[in-house]
Amino acid sequence: MLLSENHRKLTNEISQQNKIQDSLQALRNLARQGNRCPASQHPPHNTFRHYTTKAKRSLLKQDESKIKVYEPKISNSSQQRVYVWGLQETGALGLLTDVKKAQERYTSIVHHPTRSQFSVNNEVLDVTAGYGFSVYAVQRSDGETLFGSGLNTDSQLGFQVRNRAQGMHNLDIIIYPTAIRLPRVENETDSDMMVRCMSAGRAHLIVVTRNGTIFTMGNNSYGQCCRTIIEDEVYRGSAVIHRIPEKDICGPEDEIADVVCGQDHTMFLTKLGKVYTCGWGSDGQTGQGHYNTTGTIVQAMGDISGEKIVKLACSCDCVLALNNNGDLFGWGNSEYGQLSDSDADNTQINTPIHLKLTQGIGKLTDVAAGGSFCMALNEEGLVYTWGYGILGFGPLVEQSSKPQRLLPPLFGRNDFSNKTCVVSIGCGVFHMGAINSDGDLFMWGKNRFGHLGLGHKKDQFFPFKTAINGKVTKVAYGVDHTLAICKAFI
């Protein structure tokens, strides 16, 4: 019984295997014949020709009018965008619009470049940064040309008050850019009040308008506002904005081309290349041949007499001046060898001198002076630094008595972009920056307030690219924050 059942199972398995072998053989034969089937099995001829004609194929064609075409949004090429970063506690970044909302999501430091909403709503032409405050030159249809945000403890942003039930209340901190109203005389137009140039010091602001009028405001303890020093003058809540015609400074044949503020002194550069100064002079930074403070504007002479100066640079109390031939001059504080590499030379120079330490590095096109260091850029786009501080050569190099060159690869030059070079340099009191030909910004130095825009507060010992969504055209280096004017990539 058991034997017959096993025999039956074996027979069935053999039969199934034979069927599989027959099927495989049939497939092999079909493959050898090119997978052809008998003519009788071919489908009708018109089955394959159902959509072959042009008229028939049009039924399958997609409606091109409904296809969405990607068109990248092109930014307004004339509109400049402003990015801000650094210490926000003072309100200098102008990112806050509401006090209550600011308390909910408050951050004391903005570590990364952030686009200013004010620049989105207004056409910003120029910016400058003081100690904890920022100023914007704008063009608007309502005639307002000047706005500011940040510290206003010395009325460096003008007379700013807020109406309250108990009376007028002075605003010591302005969290969003507010109009600074310049006093006008009869027949002055909105065009006359457009800003030609401006600069901010520690607690004062100097503005030159297109019609050649100089406006000064803020702290005048050292005469930096170009007016007589008044003992025990109260600057908080002051409505004093001093007005000076430029002809009173440089005469009717010349005009003010630029203004540069140090910590507590002011310098004017004219179109003919002359330099006029006033303010704090204890380190000789006014270049007037003495160490006194004065509110009287006087022309700086010395070795720059007869020279055509085209650039002034100062962020503290050391001054550099560049003439049209690329020669460098300097005066003011030289305690860290900024103006001379000789230990026997005076460390407070009150008269402009021709600097010999930059000879041999080529014709200079740009300069910058910090609190204890200096920078120079030659016509080949090479950057040199000297003095004391974080000079860009690493943590082991903090002093150099002679200009030392920073390598071009630090500023974006490589095998794929071998023509990239630096086109502009600048600095604050403790940090430096450089813009290359691609519109990239590189920064290094002290970073206590996150003003290098690198995402942290650590000091940066080599030039490092700051991530900004635009091509940088100008940078305002404040002591604790940074402003950058950019153009869109497209």
Query: How far is Cα 329 from Cα 275, in angstroms, rounded to an integer?
Result: 12
In which band, very low, low, confident or very high, does the pLDDT at 5 lie, cut at 50, 70 and 90? low
Pick from 206, 207, 209: which is nearest to 189 by CA? Answer: 209
The answer to whether residue 271 scores a pLDDT higher than 70 is: yes
Task: Give the tokens for residue 141.
Answer: 């249809």
Pick from 273, 368, 365: which is nearest to 327 by CA? Answer: 365
Task: Tell me the per-residue pLDDT of 305-351, one tens digit each, with 9 for 90 and over.
Answer: 999 999 999 999 999 999 999 999 999 999 999 998 887 788 999 99
The answer to whether residue 170 scores a pLDDT higher than 90 is: no
- Strand, coil or helix: 405: strand
In which band, very low, low, confident or very high, does the pLDDT at 10 lie, cut at 50, 70 and 90? low
- The CA R_g of the chain, rounded to the nearest whole Å, is 36
Identify the residue with better confidence: 86 or 52: 86
* Long-range contacts formed by 390-395: CB under 8 A, 24+ apart: 390/430, 390/431, 390/432, 390/444, 390/445, 390/446, 390/459, 390/460, 390/461, 392/432, 392/444, 392/461, 392/462, 392/463, 393/461, 393/462, 394/461, 394/462, 395/461
Task: Tell me the per-residue pLDDT of 393-424, one tens digit each, with 9 for 90 and over.
Answer: 999 999 999 999 999 999 999 999 999 999 99
Task: Tell me the per-residue pLDDT of 44-82, one tens digit each, with 9 for 90 and over.
Answer: 555 445 545 555 555 556 667 777 777 766 666 557 899
Q: 401 φ, ψ to 5°?
A: -85, -10
Task: Tell me the per-residue pLDDT of 171-201, one tens digit each, with 9 for 90 and over.
Answer: 899 999 999 999 999 999 999 999 999 999 9
Task: Tell me the per-residue pLDDT of 128-167, one tens digit each, with 9 for 90 and over.
Answer: 999 999 999 999 999 999 999 999 999 999 998 876 555 5
